Homo-oligomer: A and B are copies of this chain.
C-alpha cells in the first residue's frame, strides 16, 4: 500500500463509529487487520477493543505492549474496563487499579467480582440519582447545570439518604408534568429492579417482556448499585444465541474467521473426539452382529437408515424440550403429558415411515420378512428417540446442568447404537 493511501485510509477510519471500525477489523485477515489497527488513533483503541469479538480482541491485544494497553483502557468507564479485564495482562490491570480514585476503584473491583452471565457483568455505573423531596423544576435545573446525561437514560433513580432505591422517575414524567410538583408525587414507586447476582438471562427476559430501556440494579439491602441498559441486553442476547449455535456445532469458543489452522484445530478437536468415542461404541454394536451380516449382507446397507431417522426424530424432540425448559414452561405436572405426546408423535411417524422403509427393503431385496424387520426396527428406534429425547434434557436440568449443551450428541449416540442394536437384533431373531 502506498503511503498516500494509508493517510486517506486513516482519515476515513477517524470518521467511522467504533462499531464500524470493529466490523472492518473482524473482516480482515490477520496481517491487514494489524496494519489497520496501527492506523487507528490511540485514544480510540479502548472503545474499539470493547466492540470487537473476543477472538479478534485477543489478536489485537497480542499486538500491543503494556503501555499501549494502559493508555487504551484508562479512558474507559470502570464497567468497560471490567469487560476487557479477562484479556488484559495482570500488570496492566494493577496499574489501572492504582490509577483510579477510591470510588472508581471500588466500582471496578465490584464489577470484576461478577462472573460472566450474571446481571452484575452487564451492569454499568452511569446512573443519575435524585432525592424524592425536590421539585421537577429543581431536577431540570440540576440536569442543565451538569450538562450531561448518560446514553440510554430513560429514567432517573430516586434514592434516600441510605442510598436505598425508593423509586424511579421516567424522563417522560419529568417532561410531561408540571415543574412545580415534587419527585415523590410523580415517581414510579414499585419499579422493576434487578439483582447483581441474578442470571443475565433473567434480566434479558424482563427487558423483553416489559419493554425496558434501563433498569436499576440493587443489592440485598435494596441499595442502588448500578443499572442495566437495553444495549447491553441486546448484545447479550446476540452473543447467547451465537454461542448456542457455535456450541451445537462443536466449537469450544468463538473462532476468529482468520484464525490459524492450529488454533482452529484446538477449538474444534474436543467435539470430534467425543463423536469418535460414540462412533466407536456404535461400531462395536455392529461388531456384535458380524455373523448375522455375513449371512445377510443387505443388513449392512439398510442399517444406517434406521439409525439416521432415529437421530433426526430424537433431535426434534430434544430441541422442543430444551426450548420449553429455557422458557421455564415445564414442571412435574405437565412432564408426563409431554412424554405421552412425543411417544404418540413417534409412534405415528414410526408406523408411516416404517412402512415406507419396509416396502423399500422388500422391493430391493425381494424379502418380505426383511421388510417387516425394517418396519419394526424403525418404530422401536423412534420410540427410543422420543423417550430419551424427553428424559435426557429433563434429567440434565434436574442435575443443575445446561440441557442445551451436549444433549444433541447424547441423543444421536443413543439412536445410533440403539438403532443398530434393535435392527440387527431383530434380524438375528427373525431372519436367520
Interface residues of A (CB under 8 A from B): 17, 19-20, 23, 26-27, 29, 51, 140, 143-144, 147-149, 151-154, 171-172, 174-178, 207-211, 213, 230-231, 233-235, 237-238, 241-242, 244-246, 248-251, 255, 257-259, 261-262, 264-265, 268-269, 271-273, 275-276, 278-280, 282-284, 286-287, 290, 293-294, 297-305, 307-309, 312-313, 315-316, 318-320, 323-324, 327-329, 331, 334, 337-338, 341, 344-345, 348-349, 352-353, 356-357, 360, 364, 416, 420
In the bound complex, CA of A256 to CA of B356 (Å) = 28
Contact: B284 with A301, CB < 8 Å?
yes
In the bound complex, CA of A402 to CA of B250 (Å) = 22
Contact: A230 with B241, CB < 8 Å?
no
Task: Give 8 A-B contacts (CB < 8 Å), ordered by A residue.
Answer: A20-B209, A154-B154, A208-B235, A246-B323, A261-B341, A271-B316, A282-B304, A299-B300
Contact: B178 with A144, CB < 8 Å?
yes
In the bound complex, CA of A30 to CA of B133 (Å) = 51
Cβ 8 A contact of A234, one of B27, B233, B324, B352: B233
Which residues of chain B are near A334, meaning CB under 8 Å? Answer: 27, 29, 258
Task: Quote the shortest CB–CB distance from A299 to chain B (angstroms).
Answer: 8
The interface centre, meaning the residue of A178, A211, A248, A302 with most chain B CB atoms within 10 A of its CB, is: A211
Task: Quote the shortest CB–CB distance from A251 to chain B (angstroms).
Answer: 7
Q: Identify the closest chain B residue to A382 (Cβ).
A: B272
Task: Quote the shortest CB–CB distance from A389 to chain B (angstroms).
Answer: 11
Q: Identify the closest chain B residue to A413 (Cβ).
A: B308
Known: A234-B233, A309-B276. A268 touches B345 (CB 8 A): yes
Q: Identify the closest chain B residue to A342 (Cβ).
A: B264
Contact: B293 with A300, CB < 8 Å?
yes
Known: A175-B140, A304-B307, A334-B29. A349 touches B250 (CB 8 A): no
Which residues of chain B are near A319, meaning CB under 8 Å? Answer: 245-246, 248-249, 251
Contact: B269 with A349, CB < 8 Å?
yes
In the bound complex, CA of A23 to CA of B251 (Å) = 33
Contact: A320 with B255, CB < 8 Å?
yes
Task: Quote the shortest CB–CB distance from A294 to chain B (angstroms).
Answer: 5
Q: Identify the closest chain B residue to A357 (Cβ).
A: B276
Task: Quote the shortest CB–CB distance from A353 to chain B (angstroms).
Answer: 6
Task: Quote the shortest CB–CB distance from A417 to chain B (angstroms).
Answer: 10
Known: A329-B27, A349-B272. A316 touches B249 (CB 8 A): yes
10 closest cross-chain pairs (CB), A and B: A241-B241, A249-B319, A19-B209, A211-B231, A261-B344, A300-B300, A286-B301, A279-B305, A27-B329, A287-B301
Which residues of chain B are near A208, meaning CB under 8 Å? Answer: 19, 231, 234-235, 238
The interface centre, meaning the residue of A143, A280, A416 with most chain B CB atoms within 10 A of its CB, is: A280
Which residues of chain B are near A275, meaning CB under 8 Å? Answer: 308-309, 312
Which residues of chain B are near A17, meaning CB under 8 Å? Answer: 209-210
Which residues of chain B are near A143, meaning CB under 8 Å? Answer: 175-176
Other A-B pairs beyond A245-B245, A272-B349, A297-B297, 4, CB < 8 Å: A19-B209, A211-B231, A258-B334, A290-B297
Which residues of chain B are near A152, meaning CB under 8 Å? Answer: 211, 213
Which residues of chain B are near A175, meaning CB under 8 Å? Answer: 140, 143-144, 149, 171, 174-175
Contact: B148 with A176, CB < 8 Å?
yes
Known: A257-B329, A271-B312, A280-B360. A293 touches B297 (CB 8 A): yes
The interface centre, meaning the residue of A153, A233, A299 with most chain B CB atoms within 10 A of its CB, is: A153
Contact: B301 with A290, CB < 8 Å?
yes
Contact: A304 with B283, CB < 8 Å?
yes
Contact: B249 with A276, CB < 8 Å?
no
In the bound complex, CA of A351 to CA of B191 (Å) = 60
Contact: A280 with B309, CB < 8 Å?
no
